[in-house]
Structure 1
Amino acid sequence: MPDPAQREMLMRQEASRQTGGQVALTAAEQCLDARLHRLKEQEMSAALFPPTLHFFKAKPLIEQSTIFRLLQKMPKGAALHIHSSTLVGVDWLVKNVTYRPNCYICFTWDNSVRFLFSDRQPFPRWDCFYWQLLRTLRARIGDPTEFDNSLMQHLTLLTDDPDSAYPSQDIVWEKFEKAFIAAAGLITHAPVLRDYFYKGLEELHQDNIMYLELRSGLSRTYELDGTIHDKAWTLKTFQVVTKKFTADHPDFLGTRVIISVHRALSVSEVKAAVKEAIQLQKDFPDVVAGFDMVGREDSGRPLWYFREALSLPADLGVTLPYYFHAGETDDEGTGVDQNLLDALLFNTTRIGHGFALARHPVAKEISRKQSVAVEVCPVSNQVLKLISDLRNHPAAVLMFEGHPMVISSDDPSLFGTTGLSYDFYQAFVGIGGLKANLGTLKELAVNSIKYSSLPPPLKERGRHMWQDKWDAFITESLEH
């Protein structure tokens, strides 16, 4: 018969390897951990277990969860993977922004919408033959509630019946891309961008997040008279709004931008974008964190296709950190499936999604050795149909091996979420199962500062700020 002491030792050894397995918990933390464990057992034995359901169906159940309410109050550190066009809830875009003066709308031939702010009737263009002033249109409708709800549908993937609405990855991605294009006309209007960014930081702050790294294409921001601003103008705006926000909220550490371009571009276009990013990082060293390529991996060109453009910084002897989306695919063995290895060959600082990483032993080994953290976005992976039951998410393997990782939310407004609490819930309860504990949560939050692009003194400051919030959270949680 096997030795019970040896069995006990093996179990302890396994537990020590998982994310948070080396974290020593104080007596107070152990109390909260025991409570979390009991709550998790209850939720896992319920008839409907949220991580097994499509997120749009699970969302109301998650919102009733005691664990979720605790996670909302928990200081989560930093959000390191959010796209700028999806930072703010669509209800604000529709009920605030589309009610502003000079907002025009057009309905396209492919059942989408476009918005434009203009001081005169906009000219027809290929996708928009007829622009109407929204104010006039609403006046004709009378009660605009239903109309506003229909506008929101164009800006989010949220739906009551996701299985019928999105039977395949192709269909959900098509709607996903359309929503980005629809929102662009609202968000890139200069006065809106300022309010939008401030509102986004407010939503993160309310969810107990203290720092943001935003992926942004720094789209062409425009004025009412049609004037277009350059990317430097947009970065300056981010800088000014962040400064105002941190003055209003001294417990917020700040924001940085990862400049992103779409993988549908040509090599020469990406080359020009890399050159521009190098210059912008020189001009805004405190704002620009680095560079990434975005868009659906499965239908886009692999990173290796852009090797000439991506080698530019090294050829020029300059540093431009990369934060590549890689492995956001379930297509094993395709050219796209090599993106993980290529991202590491180009010295990526972090890996966006890394859904396929568990199936790449060499990439997994290199990323662990080089401390290249994976940005895990559970809700996004499920809604975009990479996985249906989050208990089977490949990040479970990474979590139990203590692989460097952070939790993020990718495109909150498209999924009807805000901040990081929903993704933390799915990672903690679904991906981590009963093994994930308070030490896991603590390490994941600390990781978000550790693997951020902040310089060491700011990381240190962030870590202290976070620790104070954490201690207060533990005390407060045990009082209730």
Structure 2
Amino acid sequence: MVGSLCRAVFTCAPLLWLLRVGRGMPDPARRDLLMREEWSRQTGGGLALTPAEQKLDAHLRRLKEQDMSAPQFPPAVHFFKAKPLIQKSPVFKLLQKMPKGAALHVHGSALVSAEWLVKNVTYRPHCYICFTWDNSVRFLFSDRQPFPRWDCFYWQLLETLRARIGDRERFDDSLMQHLTLFTEDPDGEYPSQDIVWEKFEKAFIAAAGLITHAPVLRDYFYKGFEELLLDNVMYVELRSGLSRTYELDGTIHDKVWTLRTFQEVTKKFTQDHPDFVGARIIISVHRALGVSEVKAAVKEAIQLKKDFPDVVAGFDMVGREDGGRTLWFFREALSLPAELGATLPYFFHAGETDAEGTDVDQNILDALLFNTTRIGHGYALAHHPLAKELSRKRNVAVELCPISNQVLKLVSDLRNHPAAVLMSEGHPLVISSDDPAMFGNTGLSYDFYEAFVGIGGLKANLGTLRELAVNSIRYSSLPAHLKDMCHIMWQKKWDAFVSASL
């Protein structure tokens, strides 16, 4: 046992005397030292809190104890049912005010709330809708009635359709259901991962026709940044496939146009809101593609990274890991940057699975073999001791998205999330939201709540929150000088938050 502890903490000698077997009652002083030593190793445990932070920490602990003793403990309940409980929590209200740093794992097509898409975008002129045979919807902006496409044989102008419908609010609610996973009965409607993922992918397809309309895309990025800033998030890295955008007359724009648009909107938003540092894109392709297609995508990403060095952060592969192709399957494509002597950082989704021992489960190790900069989700990392050790030594942070893991049925009670082990060991972690629009979520406060109250438990304190927020800057793709600037801005906001919360 002593040997395993030594390997885990890497500094065995100073602890040996604490573990010596004595006669009779163990020394209380030795026990206290052992408890403090273990606590210091958790996320934030090594930080020295100021007197003001200590006072706020004591207040937070009392509030957290109230949540944990409530009849329904929100992290133990499905998020769709827990959301109204969380909104009433004084802990959550404090977290909303807390400066959170950066959101490093957000998919661009699920950035903005479905309510805005329905209440704003679908009310714009020339918006057509089609109801498909599989109970899904498609949207398309066009200056004339669209031809049949995408399993759509009949397109209706939404303006005309709404004019015929008596209860517009109910109709709009039904549209939002097509753009999110929300349901009042998540366990009954989504009895398996297969079923929830099928609905998940349909929702992305439904939103695409709205988001990829060129005028909407500009507003969409700007609105997304607004929602993040409103939740005290100052920087974001979006996963995006850079889908081709279209104009009203059917003109198609390429990925270069999309990147330029993203760059322009980001610049305008940061000028309008100096508290927002900026945004970058991690170019993503679906793991359902073939090797030759991914090779072409990697080559294209290398070039786009050269052309837009301040916008393109790197490359990732997205889509459901279970049942999908592994990273190793794409090894020839993923080896191209090294073979070409090119720079293309990787930010791989890996370990978003509970299928231990499968080929997919090895994505964690393969991501590290390909020198991933961060690990998206890393849910399975706790079951891979070598990968866990390597990622820690290399400072490869895990992008923890607790609500996503729960909604997509990897874990039901967030107290049982494998990240509890990672947090107790002080593993590099950042908190993110994955697909907030799909979950009826905005910003990072809900995910911070679930991580802080549910996964971290009473052991997680204000130092935990501070380190998680700082980690989001530390492990971002920003160059060093911008990280320093961002950290200085964040620290001022943090000090103000602490003072205002006392």
Give the TM-score range, shorter chain: over 0.9
Tell me what 1:436 maps to: 460
Distance 2:115 2:67 in 1: 30
Tell me what 1:241 maps to: 265
Distance 1:329 1:467 in 2: 36
Tell me what 1:251 maps to: 275
1:194 pairs with 2:218: yes
Distance 1:319 1:333 in 2: 32
1:336 deviation in Å? 0.2
Tell me what 1:179 maps to: 203
Tell me what 2:489 maps to: 465
Q: Map residues 52-451 of structure 1 onto 2, 5 A cutoff.
A: 52-451=76-475
Tell me what 2:59 maps to: 35
Q: Indicate the SS of the match to 1:101.
A: coil
Q: Indicate the SS of the match to 2:433.
A: coil
Distance 1:382 1:215 in 2: 20
1:146 deviation in Å? 1.0
1:251 deviation in Å? 1.0
1:142 deviation in Å? 3.0
1:186 deviation in Å? 0.1
Q: Which has the larger radius of gyration?
A: 2
Q: Which letter does structure 1 place at the counterpart of 2:399?
A: E
TM-score in terms of structure 2 length: 0.95
Distance 1:115 1:125 in 2: 11
1:47 pairs with 2:62: no
Q: Which letter does structure 2 place at the counterpart of 1:117?
A: F
In angstroms, what is the RMSD of aligned CA positions?
0.5
Q: Indicate the SS of the match to 1:28.
A: helix
* Candidates 474, 477, 480, aligned match of 2:501: 477
* Deviation by residue 1:329-380 (Cα, 9 ceiling, x = unmatched): 0000100000000000000000000000000001000000000000000000
Q: Which letter does structure 2 place at the counterpart of 1:425?
A: Y
Distance 2:134 2:489 in 1: 49
Q: Indicate the SS of the match to 2:320.
A: coil
* Deviation by residue 1:88-143 (Cα, 9 ceiling, x = unmatched): 11010001000000000000111100000001110102511111111111111133
Q: Indicate the SS of the match to 1:171.
A: helix
Distance 1:256 1:110 in 2: 35
Distance 2:70 2:86 in 1: 12
* Deviation by residue 1:1-60 (Cα, 9 ceiling, x = unmatched): 111111001100001100001111000000000000111111111111001100100000
Q: Indicate the SS of the match to 1:114.
A: strand
Instruction: State the identity %.
Output: 82
Q: Indicate the SS of the match to 2:154.
A: coil
Distance 2:449 2:150 in 1: 44
Q: Which letter does structure 2 place at the counterpart of 1:238?
A: F
Q: Indicate the SS of the match to 2:215.
A: helix
Distance 1:477 1:5 in 2: 34
1:299 deviation in Å? 1.6
* Deviation by residue 1:393-452 (Cα, 9 ceiling, x = unmatched): 000000000000000000001000000000000000000000000000000000000000
1:382 deviation in Å? 0.2
Q: Which letter does structure 1 place at the counterpart of 2:461?
A: N
Aligned length: 478
TM-score in terms of structure 1 length: 0.99
Q: Which letter does structure 1 place at the counterpart of 2:477?
A: S
Distance 1:411 1:333 in 2: 27
Q: Which letter does structure 1 place at the counterpart of 2:73?
A: F
Q: Indicate the SS of the match to 2:253.
A: coil
Moved beyond 3 Å, runs of 4+: none
Distance 1:462 1:446 in 2: 10
* Deviation by residue 1:222-266 (Cα, 9 ceiling, x = unmatched): 000111101010010110000110001001100000000000000
Tell me what 2:9 maps to: none
Distance 1:194 1:319 in 2: 29
**1:415–1:126 CA distance, 2 compared to 1 (3 A):** closer
Distance 1:456 1:472 in 2: 24
Tell me what 1:13 maps to: 37
Distance 1:435 1:46 in 2: 18
